[in-house]
Amino acid sequence: MKTAFIFPAFITNYTGKEIDFLIQNGVDFNHYITLASKVLGEDLPEFSYDNSIYQSDELFSQFIAYLFGCAMNDVMRKKEIVPDYIAGYSMGIYASLYATKSITLEDGLRIIQNAFNIVKEVSKTGSYGMGAVIGLSIIDVDNIIKNDNLNIEIINVNNKHSIVLAGNRDDITKFLDLAKEEGAMSVNKLTVKTPYHSKYLAKYSQEFTDYIYKVNIKDAEIPVVSTYNQKICLSSDDLRMDLIHNLTEKINWHNTMQFLLKLDVNVFCEVGAGKDLIKIARFIEGDYKIKSIKKI
C-alpha cells in the first residue's frame, strides 16, 4: 500500500472542521498567521469562517490555503505519517514543497507574494478571468473555443468531464453561456482575475525564473509529482523548473492522479482545508481511496 499527500489550491468551501482538527492536535493556526504577517510585512487578520477576506482577496486566499496545507502537514509529521509521494494542485505546489522540506514556511510565503506581484499588472487590467465547466469533454470544449474564436484556453483538466479555462474575461463569460447551451451540467465563473497556468502569463516567465533561482530550494525528501509533465521531481533544479512551469504553463490534474496510480498509490490524503480534491476524485477512474486527513 502506497500513500500520496495531495495539497489543494484556493479554498472554495471550508468544512467548518479545520480549526477544531488543528486544536485537537495541539496546533494554534493563528500562530501561522502571526508568523506570516511578520514575514510578509502585512497584517493578516486572524482566521475566522465569517471573515470573507480569505476567499474574496486573491492573494490572501493563496496565503491561507498555503498556511492550512503547512499546518495540516505539520500535524501529519507529528503523527509520524509520511507519504510515499506528494503532489500539489495548482498553487498547492507551495505547500507540497514545504511538506517535502525543500522550502521553509517563510520562503513559501515569499514565493507566493513575489509570484503575485510579478503578474499583478495582468489582474489589474480587469481583462482576464477563469472559468470551470463540468459535463463536457475536452473535444466539446475545444470545439466551442475554436468555432467561436474565443481568446481563452484550457489550463487544467481535473477529470474527463471537469475542465478549467483562462483568458479574456468576456470570452470566458461567452464560453460558459455556450457550454450551458451545449448541455454542460455545471458552469462556474471563478473570482480569480489572474489567468494562471496560461499563455497570457508567458511574458513573466523569465522574471519569475530569475527570482526562483535566488530562493534557497533543497532537494526533496519525498518525491514530488509534477502536475505540468507528471515527472518525478527530487532535485532542487527539477523543483525550480516545476515552480516556474506551474505559474505560466498548463497543468493536468487528471493525468497526475493517473500517474500516481501507476506508481501503485492506492490511498490519497487531501492535506488542506476544504475537500475540493475529494470532490474532483469522484470522477477519476481507478482503484483507490481518497480521504481527508481529518479522518485519519
Q: What does the pLDDT look like over 25-74, one tens digit per residue? A: 999 999 999 999 999 998 999 999 988 899 889 999 999 999 999 999 99
Considering the domain 127-189, what is its CATH architecture?
2-Layer Sandwich (3.30)
> CATH 3.40.366.10 in the chain, residues?
2-123+198-295
Query: What is the CA 261 to chain-centroid distance, rounded?
Result: 20
Considering the domain 2-123+198-295, what is its CATH architecture?
3-Layer(aba) Sandwich (3.40)
Alpha helices in 85-135 (DSSP H): 93-99, 105-125
The string over 268-286, giving b where at least 16 C-beta atoms fall within 10 Å of a residue's C-beta and e elsewhere, is bbbbbbbbbbbebbeebee
> CATH 3.30.70.250 in the chain, residues?
127-189
Residue 44 identity (one-letter amino acid): L
Instruction: Please give the angle made by the CA atoms of 167, 168 and 173, to the nearest 5 degrees.
Output: 100
pLDDT at 210: 98
pLDDT at 296: 67
pLDDT at 111: 98
CB atoms < 10 A from the CB of 250, how many?
17
Name the strands in the sheet holding 289-292, side by side, starting at the edge strand that comes first in the sequence: 232-233, 224-225, 85-88, 2-7, 265-270, 289-292
Of 102, 86, 97, 133, whose CA–CA distance to 259 is shortest?
A: 86
Place of cell 518525491: 223
Give pLDDT < 70 ranges for the chain: 296
